[in-house]
Amino acid sequence: MIKPKLVLNKISYAAFGKVILKELTLTLDEKSIGIIGRNGSGKSTLAKILCGLIDPSKGKLEVHINGKNQSHPNLKIGIVFQNPDHQIIFGTVEEEIGFGLKNLGYSKSEVKKKTALTLQKFDKTNWTNLSTSTLSQGEKQLLCIMSVFAMDPAIIILDEVFSGLDLPTTKALDTYIKNLPQMIIHITHNLSSLEKCNRVIWLDHGKVLLDGSPKSVLKEYSKHMLRKVNL
């Protein structure tokens, strides 16, 4: 299987007169990549550009999946956002997971089968008919991850999915994430979950400040963050 690859060539993004991303040039093809940076550094914007939700103001993005350059990467790159309440639309777990599959064009029976398979993979078959409103925040977030996973994307982007979750839930969710077979781009403030990544990129004011092994980048980042900062 050919590894997926994202090639960014001088990607810039500006909105409402503010420059958010400045001429990012990167090639992303590692299995797990962490992206860190202060709030407002452009991480979420980058995530949305990578999966095709917004277009860059300048520059080119090439998405190579199975060796081919995708023109509409939309459904081949999954993204999970910060707030599960913004993502869950349906009343039951089965319907929620089935939504993306339906949109991919699968038949009713195939949707049912693939949904059951997904729940099995995450060991949550007992969730099938559960009402989504009875799930805890952490469980909702897992559901969002499962719903994206079910669509069999080549890359999954996680945009601060641990927000608002307590430590045990974060750890539990992180275990699931570490077992995902896809290429993962993980944006988070939870530095410990990035320790085993292949590569960590530190984004600051829309530019890459540091880019390299988790050990080196995370150490520098922690040092920097612990210095006194004025609001």
Partner 1 sequence: MLALRFPQNTWLERIPTSMKLVLLATATSGIFFVETLGIMVLLFVATCAFQFLLGWQIFKFSLGLLKPLLPFIAIIVVWHLYSGDLSHGALIILRLLLIVTLANIVTCSTKTSEISEIIEKIISPMRVININTQAISISVLIFIRFTPIVLERQKILQLAYRCRSGKRPSWQIIVPLILSVMDDADHVAQSLKSRSTLRE
Q: Is 163 in the site for partner 1 (CB under 8 A)?
A: no
Of 20, 33, 51, 218, the residue at the interface with partner 1 (CB under 8 A) is 51
Residues 105-144 interacting with partner 1 (rule: CB under 8 A): 133
101 burial class (0-12, 13-18, 19+ CB within 10 angstroms)?
buried
Of 25, 60, 67, 91, the residue at the interface with partner 1 (CB under 8 A) is 91
| Residue 210, beta-bridge partner list | 202
Of 21, 33, 36, 48, the residue at the interface with partner 1 (CB under 8 A) is 48
Edge to edge, the sheet with strand 32-36 lists 77-80, 155-159, 183-187, 32-36, 199-204, 207-212
Residue for token pair 């210095």: 227
Report how far residue 29's alpha carbon sits from residue 119's, in angstroms, rounded to the nearest whole number.
28
In angstroms, give the least distance from the CB of 228 to partner 1: 31
Q: Is 4 in the site for partner 1 (CB under 8 A)?
A: no
Closer CB to partner 1, 99 or 221, in the complex? 99
CB neighbours of 104 closer than 8 A, spacing ≥ 6?
75, 151
Of 2, 15, 89, 225, the residue at the interface with partner 1 (CB under 8 A) is 89
97 burial class (0-12, 13-18, 19+ CB within 10 angstroms)?
buried
Closer CB to partner 1, 32 or 147, in the complex? 147
Site pattern 10..39 for partner 1 (x: CB under 8 A):
------------------------------
Report how far residue 200's alpha carbon sits from residue 131's, in angstroms, rounded to the nearest whole number.
37
From 11-19, 84-92, 134-142, 188-196, give the range in contact with partner 1 by CB under 8 A. Answer: 84-92
Write out the residues near partner 1 by the rule CB under 8 A: 48, 51, 53, 74-75, 78-79, 81, 83, 85-91, 99-100, 103, 133, 147-148, 151
